[in-house]
Structure 1
Amino acid sequence: MASNDSRSHRKSALYRAGKGAFFLLLAAGLSVLLWHWLAPPMVKVGHPTRGPAIQAVYATGNVEASVTVTIAPQVGGRLVELRADEGAEVTPGQILGRLDDSDLRASLGDEQARLRYAEQRWQRVQALFSSGFATIDQLDQARSTFDSARATTRRIEEQIKFMTLRAPGAGHIIRRDGEVGDFIPLNQPVFYLAQSGAPPRITTVVDEEDIAGVKVGQPAQITADGFPGRVFEGKVAEITAKGDPLARNYRVRIALLPGTPLMIGMTTEVNIILARREHALLVPSTALNGSAIWLVRDGRAHKQSLSLGARGADRSEVLVGLNDGDTFIAEPPAELKDGQKVRAQPDAAPAGTPR
């Protein structure tokens, strides 16, 4: 009996020990969970940096010729000849194309015959009038017929000239619409001529909220998908006096430097530089909550209002409300509260320049 009691006592002791260990482990696990639930959140922190701040207005636009002339027939007709194509350099008066003028030339032949007859009759009536064998009415009628035939002949000759498309000045063809055999209506452009001597420009649209800061002469930085990684320089040349009331924007033209390789028709992105300040105080734009930032002081988060300058996608300029040595939360949690305890994790990302 004593042996059985001893074994029973040992089992009871082992059970109690195992139960105690289980509760200890359970308590440890609950403590870890409570720590994660109740412990201050870990936040990524950083410090302001110094660098150049650029305040710019962003816009998109297209490269176009500074002076573009459309060349279109003043009389409709079928295109029968092309002597120039896109990219061709042309000189003043050079023939670029010709429309079918066969009907007009036939009419001209008929009218020239009438003109010769009218001229001869006018001369005969003059002679008869001088000899007293023709009246003044006959003289006036002969003169009127002659003048009418001459005017009609000249009008047809001018129409024939219109059937030949010529370059109005020196330049290069940037676009050609129409093929031989096409019927070209009156005033429908066949050629687009970019005049020589003027570099291309960019026409952009700027929102009415930003246009007040844009001035003629301001520098602009231009990028295009056709030239990845390259930035071209330009400056504001013109601002339209009247905006679009529906789109609520204004056209702004950017002059390009001579030799800029951007091609007419390319789509561009333009940053018009309103101001540039060196040695500005910068913070990551992700740290901003509107016009405020979360500072870390004595292990607690404090919301600080700021006065901001240039704002970019990566970095923003702080004018008032922040010092160089301050510590801020780089990516503040949405549920953060003023005065809440936080645990700081150093921020290894360098600060840069607003873009």
Structure 2
Amino acid sequence: MLPLLAACSTADSPTPELRVPPVPVTVATIGEVGASEQVTVTGTFVSRDEIPLAFKIGGVVARVHVDEGATVQRGQILAALDLREIDAAVAKAQVAVDKAERDQARVQRLAADSVATLAQLQDATSALTAARADLAAARVNRDYAIITAPEAGTVLQRLVTPGANVAPGAPLFTLGGSRRGRVLRAGLPDRDALKVKLNDRATVTFDAVPSRSFEGRVLLVGRSADPRTGTYSVEISLAGADMLPSGLVGNARIVVSGTSAVSTIPVDALLEVNHDSATVFLPQAQTDGTLRAVPQRVRVSQLSGDRATVDGLRPGTRVVAKGASYATAGAALRIITDASLDSLAPTRGDARAVALRGGRAP
């Protein structure tokens, strides 16, 4: 009977309570930073003013003085038509003016002697005025039979050769003017066009120049969409890009600055991440003087390096950072430094230590 009584006595005795030591963790205070956003767009590096040049009248091209890529100055002759027919038209108009002047002078003398009527004098004066207008038009056509550069710049396109018979107004050259400089021109979709503002900062890179990036600012944001593409034009000025040729394709990152603020925490504080939501532990003081882990769900809006931007926590709130993966809801916490945590944190092989802390090994 003695062994049986001893066994019963042992089964009825209370089991000693297992005391779980506090989980060593570090804490971080939620910081607040200004919100910013980047808009990425691809465009072409071009002169801000691209001027198509053409003859006002048609004719045969006699001379072409520049090639594509040439640098020209204001007033420099680029091309000219064969002027023989045009000069003949000017001479004919000049003869008509001379005759009209003689007729008007003769009728005026006759009117003074009461031989010609007032109506005849008025007709002769009108004929002289019309002849002079025809001469002025002929001279204008002669002036526009020669294409000159309206400003200094670079010839971007040449579409004519000597001997060609061209129609009035047909573009023969495209001049990239230098007066207002060159820009990266691109098209923005409507959602991005509403975000970008004048003077927003931008960083531009070119595949042709991979070793350099260029800083710039937004000079223009279009207010009407291109009917062909549905995009809004944006122009970005570049600093130090004068040596680059026109036509290069560049990639721009436009920084859109906002007025709101966002909360950031260390990535180590995020647990049970599911799409854009995660759990964090807040160290909450208890009445007995201990700290307990209180879980809270947050929405993660952005990850940048070792920081995460979250919604749902106020700036200044403390969260459990390193060591959070070893804690559970309601677990006791002990705040230590990073260096101490490295020496105290349970290892992957220490399953018993992990179990005592009620956590999960990372």
Establish whether residue 187 from structure 1 lines up as the match of residue 169 from structure 2. Answer: yes
CA distance in 1, matches of 2:183, 2:36: 23
Establish whether residue 166 from structure 1 lines up as the match of residue 148 from structure 2. Answer: yes
CA distance in 2, matches of 1:260, 1:131: 74
Change in 2 beyond 3 A, CA 1:70/1:288: farther
Change in 2 beyond 3 A, CA 1:247/1:144: closer
CA distance in 2, matches of 1:210, 1:323: 37
AA in 2 matched with 1:122 = Q
Change in 2 beyond 3 A, CA 1:197/1:109: closer
Of the three residues 66, 77, 87, the one matched with 1:95 is 77
Determine if contact 1:199/1:258 at 8 Å carries over to the other structure. no
AA in 2 matched with 1:291 = D
Equivalent in the alignment of 2:301: 308
User: 3-state SS of the aligned residue for 1:84?
Assistant: coil
Establish whether residue 126 from structure 1 lines up as the match of residue 126 from structure 2. Answer: no
CA distance in 1, matches of 2:157, 2:273: 49
Of the three residues 318, 321, 335, the one matched with 2:309 is 318
1:195, distance to aligned residue in structure 2 (A): 2.7
Equivalent in the alignment of 1:211: 193
AA in 2 matched with 1:164 = I
AA in 2 matched with 1:157 = R
Equivalent in the alignment of 1:23: none
CA distance in 2, matches of 1:202, 1:82: 30
Equivalent in the alignment of 1:58: 40
CA distance in 2, matches of 1:221, 1:125: 76
TM-score by length of structure 2 reads 0.62
1:82, distance to aligned residue in structure 2 (A): 1.3
Determine if contact 2:74/2:150 at 8 Å carries over to the other structure. yes
**Worse-superposed segment, 263-272 or 74-83:** 74-83
Change in 2 beyond 3 A, CA 1:121/1:206: closer
AA in 1 matched with 2:249 = T
CA distance in 2, matches of 1:212, 1:316: 28
Unaligned stretches of 5+ residues in structure 2: 1-32, 281-296, 313-318, 326-359
User: 3-state SS of the aligned residue for 2:235?
Assistant: strand
Equivalent in the alignment of 1:226: 208
Change in 2 beyond 3 A, CA 1:199/1:243: same
Change in 2 beyond 3 A, CA 1:317/1:182: farther
Equivalent in the alignment of 2:224: 242
1:292, distance to aligned residue in structure 2 (A): 4.2
User: 3-state SS of the aligned residue for 1:242?
Assistant: coil
Determine if contact 1:199/1:257 at 8 Å carries over to the other structure. no
User: 3-state SS of the aligned residue for 1:203?
Assistant: strand
AA in 1 matched with 2:225 = G
Change in 2 beyond 3 A, CA 1:211/1:281: farther
Q: Cα deviations across residues 74-129 of structure 1 (Å, max 9, x unaligned)?
A: 22223221122333333332222112332222222233223222222222222233
Of the three residues 71, 78, 87, the one matched with 1:105 is 87
CA distance in 2, matches of 1:59, 1:245: 19
User: 3-state SS of the aligned residue for 2:220?
Assistant: strand
Equivalent in the alignment of 1:274: 256
AA in 2 matched with 1:253 = E
Change in 2 beyond 3 A, CA 1:155/1:249: closer
CA distance in 2, matches of 1:288, 1:99: 74
User: 3-state SS of the aligned residue for 1:97?
Assistant: strand
Change in 2 beyond 3 A, CA 1:178/1:234: same
User: 3-state SS of the aligned residue for 1:231?
Assistant: strand
Q: RMSD between aligned alpha carbons?
A: 3.9
Change in 2 beyond 3 A, CA 1:306/1:189: same
Identity of aligned residues (%): 26
AA in 2 matched with 1:86 = E
Equivalent in the alignment of 1:80: 62
CA distance in 1, matches of 2:119, 2:227: 65
Determine if contact 1:128/1:134 at 8 Å carries over to the other structure. yes
1:307, distance to aligned residue in structure 2 (A): 2.0
Change in 2 beyond 3 A, CA 1:229/1:86: same
Unaligned stretches of 5+ residues in structure 1: 1-51, 296-303, 328-341, 345-355
